[in-house]
Amino acid sequence: MIQTDLLVIASGAGGLSAAVTAAHLGLRVLVAEKDAQYGGTTAWSGGWMWIPRNPLAVEAGIVEDIETPLSYLRHELGDQFDEARARTYLEHGPRMVDFFRRHTALQFIDGNAIPDFHGNTPDAALGGRSLCAAPFDGRRLGRQIDRLKPPLRETTLWGMGIASGAELRHFMNAMRSAASFRYVAGKVLAYWRDQLQHGRGMRLVNGNALVAGLPASAFERGVEIRTDSPARRLLVEEGRVVGAVLGGPDGDVEVRASRGVVLACGGFPFDVERKKAWLPHAPSGHEHWSAASSGNTGDGLRMGEAIGAALNGQLAQAAALAPVSLVPRADGSVAHFPHLIERAKPGLIAVTAEGKRFTNEADSYHDFVRGMLAAVPAGRPVEAWLVCDHTFIRRYGLGAVKPAPMPLRRMLDNGYLKRGATPAELARQCG
Ligand SMILES: Cc1cc2nc3c(=O)[nH]c(=O)nc-3n(C[C@H](O)[C@H](O)[C@H](O)COP(=O)(O)OP(=O)(O)OC[C@H]3O[C@@H](n4cnc5c(N)ncnc54)[C@H](O)[C@@H]3O)c2cc1C
């Protein structure tokens, strides 16, 4: 049996931010992670947060009254709008950023030029409402970096993460601008130097920086992260949660937590039964692909339900949707590539299997998939094709295919890419 103050189940941004905050407030904290590495889906994510009125925006002179983003949320959410909850979020979000900046290794870069997703919604902003984890030096984690989940390989260059924003623009323009070439050459050289010295890149970016910065401070405050430790069930005594049972290499262990248990297991992208019940486009539970962490099998939801909690069934959509493609890997496994950036570039169209365009390809990923769901005839697989010409793919890349000078051949050979000299020939190739 293990005794602690707070047991945090899972090690994505949700769990780690709870853990480092509790440790800062003086609690003994144990984090239990099912996977062999900590970081969850967050380690693969863009690491961007929508936090209006955040300190970085304010420092840049972007000052807005709480009523403005509140109005944006009211218009976005319609009859789902819960004013008390939205107000609480908008009040506490900036305080959270301030807290992490002051008390943890996690720092931020601003999104002051990044507009809201729905620019036509009243009180949308052209910038100043987002921020992202700043690049983080992995050396600060010491030996603990060995257990940090690396970024999703297909979204990197040879395993090297590329920070979104200005850095990504340099990589896209490396063959067109001398300044970008120099920038990229410097980053690539530093990456290979790290590989030689440490066996991996040490400059962590995006979501990977988020789940490196939080634990760096958590470890300093004595937080233990137990990997390979799936929580199996909550312990309840006299109507109160008093801990949980964790699995592990040496068998089950009971953890007693005097101040509570935080469930942060990351939703249900790999829970077939839940998908069947909650996602109309996945009637057998198998028609929905996700770029999230495969350990996210809805355990937290089940543990909560087992002691009387219930899910809110009134949501407009039970999943945050994004288009993914299935990338065959050399070892026979399949990666799920999230199409977040390149489909918005000029020169690409998205069509259904019937060859019909169904959306503005530059819309947000959620809207893109909603458009796809609406356009695909009932009973047909929910899928679409991204179509572009050679100039486009060499300029911007396409999914897991990188822009020039990276080669295309392997992705043509393994069927990820289809090629045709005419639209008709391409359609035949696509079946
Ligand atoms: C490619 C990509 C890009 C994204 N970009 C952004 C972005 O820029 N901004 C944004 O807001 N969102 C983004 N998202 C979504 C975002 O990453 C997730 O919503 C967020 O990371 C969820 O954090 P979390 O802590 O709830 O869960 P996760 O980070 O998924 O962590 C959950 C953890 O729970 C563990 N777990 C599950 N069951 C158990 C158990 N029984 N016991 C112990 N551990 C368990 C899992 O192994 C996992 O490590 C992106 C997602 C993807 C896939």
Model confidence over 356-400: pLDDT tens digits? 999 999 999 999 999 999 999 988 899 999 999 999 999 999 999
Residue 40 alpha carbon, nearest atom of ligand 1: 49
Which is the closest atom of ligand 1 to the Cα of 132? Answer: 8
Q: Is the CB of 44 under 6 A from ligand 1?
A: yes
C-alpha distance from residue 249 to each of 36, 228, 246 (Å)? 11, 7, 10
Place of tokens 């909690």: 309
> How high does pLDDT run on average in the chain?
96
**Residue with CA nearest ligand 1 atom 46:** 295
Q: Is 141 in the pocket of ligand 1 (CB under 6 A)?
A: no
pLDDT of residue 315: 87
CA distances from 412 to 353, 355, 431 (A): 19, 21, 15
Pairing mode, if any, of strands 108-110 and 29-32? Answer: unpaired
Ligand 1, atom 50: closest residue by C-alpha: 45
Per-residue CA distances from 59 to 50, 126, 127, 428 (Å): 17, 17, 13, 55
Percentage, residues of the chain above pLDDT 70: 100
- The residue whose C-alpha atom lies closest to atom 29 belonging to ligand 1 is 12
Q: At 89, list the tokens.
A: 């979020």
Ligand 1 close to Cβ of residue 296 (< 6 A): yes
- Between the CA of residue 351 and those of 57, 386, 417, 427, what are the distances in Å? 38, 7, 15, 11
Q: What are the tokens at 95?
A: 């305080």
User: Is the Cβ–Cβ distance between 245 and 259 less than 8 Å?
Assistant: no
Going from N- to C-terminal start, the domains of the chain cover 1-134+204-264, 324-430
Q: Coil, strand or helix: which one is 44?
A: helix
Helix H segments across 315-422?
365-375, 390-396, 409-413
Confidence of residue 45 (pLDDT cuts 50, 70, 90): very high
Question: 244: Cβ below 6 Å to ligand 1?
Answer: no
Look up residue 235 and give its two tokens: 């312990």
- Report which protein residue has its CA nearest ligand 1's atom 26: 266
The answer to whether 234 and 220 have CB atoms below 8 angstroms apart is no
What tens digit of pLDDT does each residue of 157-198 get? 999 999 988 899 999 999 899 999 999 999 999 999 999 999
Counting ligand 1 atoms within 8 A of each CB, the residue from 17, 31, 35, 42 with the most, and so the one to mutate, is 42
CATH architecture of the domain covering 1-134+204-264:
3-Layer(bba) Sandwich (3.50)
